[in-house]
Chain A
Amino acid sequence: MKLSALFSGNTFQHGVHPHDYKGLTRHLPIRRLPFAPELILPLSQHAGKASTPLVKPGEEVVRGQPIAVADGFVSVPLHAPATGRVRSLQLMPSARGPKTMSLILQVYQGSSQKELYDHPHDLRQLSADEIIQAVQEAGMVGLGGAAFPTHVKMKPPAEQPVDTIIANGCECEPYLTCDHRLMLEQPDNLIQGLHLMQRALGVERAIIGIEDNKLDAAQLLQDYVSNDPTIAVKVVKTKYPQGAEKMLIKSVLNREVPPGSLPSAVGVSVFNVGTLTQIGELLPHGRGVIERVVTVSGDGVQHPGNYLVPVGTPVEFLLKQAGVVDAAHEVILGGPMMGMSIAALDVPVTKAMSGMVVLKKPEPDTERGKEQPCIRCGYCVEACPMQLNPSMLGMLATSADYTGMQENYHLNDCFECGSCSYVCPSNIPLVQYFRIAKSINRDRQETAQK
């Protein structure tokens, strides 16, 4: 098939076009980084229950060995990212704020760190449920702030049958290129993972959605699956937030997920290409997630790149490796549109982290000018992919009418993509207002229930 035939012209309405800065790293192959002397492994790197440790302080562990088991279905185990000795189990700072229980692992510097722990599966023998179980045992979590365990997403509600799997290769956040590199460098793992996913969900049709700024990856995968009638590659417009599940489903299949529903409501399951690649890579060997590709980029970084980083590596170590010099910086975990800037560098890289963007003192591009009253320009209304009215929501937030925001203006359908704040010429921190309003509403609801 010719590449031009892949274009659908389909996309979602609204959205924004930030400069993507991907040129800094898109051409750089994935490179392995040395091990930090100590790894910090939070028992909870995912939504759901924290895992239960299997090892005690002082114990030696082998790279790849399970060191904590899942506590129930909505939970995942943890594997040792390096051969070494468990120093302690203690509360450590986390990027999300509160301190969390973490295993501290001292890495044996002399060890070759060849992966030793293995537990191969015969893939052809696995049933659907066994695949799902194997995914849980690998400790896989989805990307983004929520870090939902992947295997839970593989069990959509029975009354909502899924007919299509979408592999999300949009990577619409500026700066990030790790998924792009994975698609280029490990297409075999990606397709393998997608096949396993098709089997686990019992779904024939799979579509890989890729933004049109990654045509090389789209072409490569297209060649790869040309003999496979079940998998299609679809190129979608480069636009933020194309990689949001609901937007991508609209762009690829022209189906709209109703407010408050999951993609399975329209018969779709969406998995990130990074997740699928990991499944394809790990499942045959029965290994766990012990490292991941992280894009380190931004103008504060001397050696931007796509690095294969052991889980638990302290952010500070990673920044030093990437050549960040002493200065005032903003360090963002994730992409610049939805990521979170951190106050301290002693937090670890977690399984769900796809990027780290380090920005020098605010450039004009990131400068927050002084906040001014809303001039009702409507830019935010034109930007909101959920087709909300951020202008109105913002005005209600200023007058502290949080109930009205929720009841009349669909506050809860806002997924905090940041498009509205991005365009607002009055520099109103709309998303921040909405986050606050949501948490106040949540608190109120909880107190009302008591």
Chain B
Amino acid sequence: MPDLKITTDLRTSPHLKQVVTVPQIMRNVVYALLPVCAYSVFAFGLSVLLLLITTTLTCILTEWLYCRLADKPSSLDDWSIVITGLLLALTLPPGFPLWMAAVAAFVAVGLGKALFGGLGYNVMNPALVGRAFVQAAFPVAITTWTPPFLPGRFQELIPTTLTQPFMIPPDINGWIEQQRVDAFSGATPLALQKFEQIITPLPDLVLGSIAGSAGETSALIIILGGLYLAARKMLDWRIPVAVMAGAIIIALPLWLVDAARYPDPLFVLFSGGLMLGAVFMASDMVASPVTPWGVWIYGLFIGMLTVVIRLFGGLTEGVMYAILLGNAISPLISNMTQPRIFGSRDS
């Protein structure tokens, strides 16, 4: 009998591998984000489209530059950078000057990600790092809101969008006056509630006919995207649920005690960036804990802190800082909530 000519291939067990890879996960997050982006463009017009393109391209470029400088193999193909770009744009006001958006994107990738050593090593969500930077650097521009569904939104850009680099964007109140069809104030629901005790009706919040950041529009589309990812196990459903639960835990008692001063829990959930933050940002795998208990604690912490900042802090929106803080303490949470080893009584 002739000898078999088999070249053997040595590998270590397990010899089977589930075919879910990092790029696949990230790509699916992008898919889930696209409807949010599309609706935002629909609501706010061309300015948001440019904003999305600007941040995404700047992020890609910065990442590419970083890989070149650090002499690392290109990490563009893992798609995570696209998520950062899109998310960043969605947290900015629709008429945010493009040059500032580019700065935000550069900081997001450079400071929020590359500095730590790239994907997997970053401590915080890069998009939020970028956003926090411009919040501090450009306090006026970052709080200049435009109403959605302006009639001319597909023909004309919001005047601030094309501000020349290093220039102060023009005042747009006059422009909004001229554009608007109804008595729209241009203030966000959160500001209205905080300073004028005006509660925006829930359907407007759910469907997104409100002023706010580009991605704060439709809670419905965000939730659908989240459900898609959760069904594919590419999003830890416990995190958004915990964030929302945390928000309700603080908001509900206050509202029960003094409904005139404090917003109702549904308003809290559906206004501002809470939904976007809960579904797409707090759940960022890299910056959230891995332990089962840690995930709940982390989510609750973010939800509670968001509402506390909103109601008692000087800012109208607190979700960004809440998530950044949650990211910062997530290694600590992971450490303190090590799973109970099978068969042991204590952890």
Kindly list chain A residues whose C-beta atoms are within 8 Å of the C-beta of B343: 246, 256-259, 261
- B6 near A378 (CB under 8 angstroms)? no
Asked whether A418 lies within 8 Å of B13 as measured between CB atoms, the reply is yes
Is the interface on chain B under 10, 10 to 19, 20 to 34, or 35 or more residues?
35 or more
Please tell me which stretch of B145-153, B248-256, B303-311, B334-342 contacts chain A, meaning at least 4 of its Cβ atoms lie within 8 angstroms of it. B334-342
B18 interfacial by beta-carbon distance below 8 Å = yes
Residues of chain A contacted by B286 (CB below 8 angstroms): 375-376
Instruction: Report A269 CB to chain B, min CB distance, Å.
Output: 17
Residues of A within 8 A of B178 (CB): none
Closest to A317 in B: B1
**A residues near B341, Cβ cutoff 8 Å:** 259, 386-388, 410, 413
One of B19, B21, B24 near A365 (C-beta < 8 A): B19
Q: How far is the CA of A211 from the CA of B297 in the complex (A)?
A: 36
Residue of B nearest to A372 (CB): B22
Beyond A359-B15, A376-B288, whether A426 also contacts B4 by CB under 8 A is no
Minimum CB–CB distance from B85 to chain A (whole Å) comes to 18
By a CB distance below 8 angstroms, the chain A residues around B12 are 341, 429, 431-432, 435
What 1/0 mask marks residues of chain B from 311 to 343 whose CB sits below 8 Å from any chain A CB? 000000000000000000000001000111111
Q: Check B6–A341 contact: CB distance below 8 A.
A: no
* Chain A binding surface SS class: loop
Q: Flag if B4 contacts A427 (CB, 8 Å).
A: no
Q: Which residue in B6, B120, B338 is a CB contact (below 8 Å) of A372? A: B120
Q: A339-B13, A375-B120 are in contact. Are A327 and B6 (CB under 8 A)?
A: yes
B78 at the interface (CB under 8 A from A): yes
Check A378/B342 contact, CB under 8 A, given A345-B6, A373-B119, A431-B13: no
Tell me, yes or no, whether B258 is within 8 Å of chain A by CB: no
Known: A316-B4, A374-B120. A389 touches B339 (CB 8 A): yes
**Are the C-beta atoms of A259 and B5 separated by less than 8 Å?**
no
Q: Is A220 an interface residue (CB 8 A)?
A: no
Give the distance in Å from the alpha carbon of A388 to the alpha carbon of B241 in the complex: 24
Residues of A within 8 A of B (CB): 12-13, 16, 18-19, 174, 246, 250, 256-259, 261, 316, 319-320, 324, 326-332, 336-345, 357, 359, 361-362, 364-369, 372-379, 381-382, 385-389, 391-392, 409-410, 413, 416, 418-419, 421-423, 425-427, 429, 431-432, 435
Q: A16-B18, A19-B16, A361-B9 are in contact. List 17 more A-B contacts (CB 8 A).
A: A13-B342, A324-B4, A328-B9, A329-B9, A330-B15, A332-B15, A364-B19, A366-B11, A367-B17, A375-B285, A375-B286, A376-B289, A389-B291, A423-B20, A425-B22, A425-B24, A427-B21
| Closest 6 pairs between A and B when the two form their complex, measured CB to CB | A373-B120, A418-B14, A378-B290, A326-B5, A336-B15, A256-B343
Which residues of B pack against A, CB within 8 Å? 1, 3-22, 24-25, 78, 117-121, 236, 285-292, 295, 334, 338-344
